[in-house]
Amino acid sequence: MSILSTFAEALATARIEVVDLTAPLHSGTPVIQLPEPFAQTATFELEELSRYDDRGPAWYWNNIRTGEHTGTHFDAPNHWVTGRDGEDVASVAARKLIAPAAVLDFSDRAAADPDFLLEVEHIREWESAHGPLPEGGWLLFRTGWDARSESQGEFLNADENGPHTPGLSVECARWLAEESPVIGLGVETVGTDAGKAHSFDPPFPCHSALMGSGKYGLTQLQNLAQLPPTGALVVAAPLPIVGGSGSPSRVLALVERG
């Protein structure tokens, strides 16, 4: 059989499992909150156009309103000032939307310390056990934060000093952007940066370094606990919004079982 025929048979017989890494998108989906005077992203909204009634007797449909960076979403390089001349989301090559993944599980550290920061040494330790990060693939950073995704308050975990969510150190973000072989970073939190990254030097180093290096972000992922450390293939499917800085996305992982 051809490669694609073999692949299709493996899907049909569940030798390849499809794991949905996408958070359901609804009006209660948590969104990032910026301090004034910065503009705020929209929460997700449905506007009903008709539902088998006088407005349309045989059909149901809606308008939607949402921010590009609401829910599980894809960050394109032009999302950040360092990547302002880089790709918009419609320009990302389709072949890059299917890529291998390394899953680094630090959920125990994040449970003990919501401000936990991934360091280069943590990645090196993981590589010593599992091999190098995949060329042209994703680093998926598991923190267990998806368990909070139905509560705006628990998800942002903010107090008078700002949000407290795990992320990457400045040095780690720079290394991931400039030296690692991956095309991007995937996280379970509201953004690729740690909650306290506004106070880092430079601020928001993941956005700054990754976008500035032409790399990508995936955020608000779920179900990373169902993935092996290596071997999964990620399908990230943003809308090709011309001029867009990102898009809500359906993100799937293909995992070989047995």
Residues annotated catalytic, as ranges: 79
Tokens representing 33? 């909150």
Q: Is 135 exposed, middle or buried (0-12, 13-18, 19+ CB in 10 A)?
A: exposed
- Candidates 232, 214, 213, 210; CA nearest to 223 is 232
Residues in the chain: 258
Q: Determine the Cα–Cα distance for residues 243 and 196; give it in Å rounded to an integer.
A: 29
3-class SS shares of the chain: helix, strand, coil, % to 5: 30, 30, 45
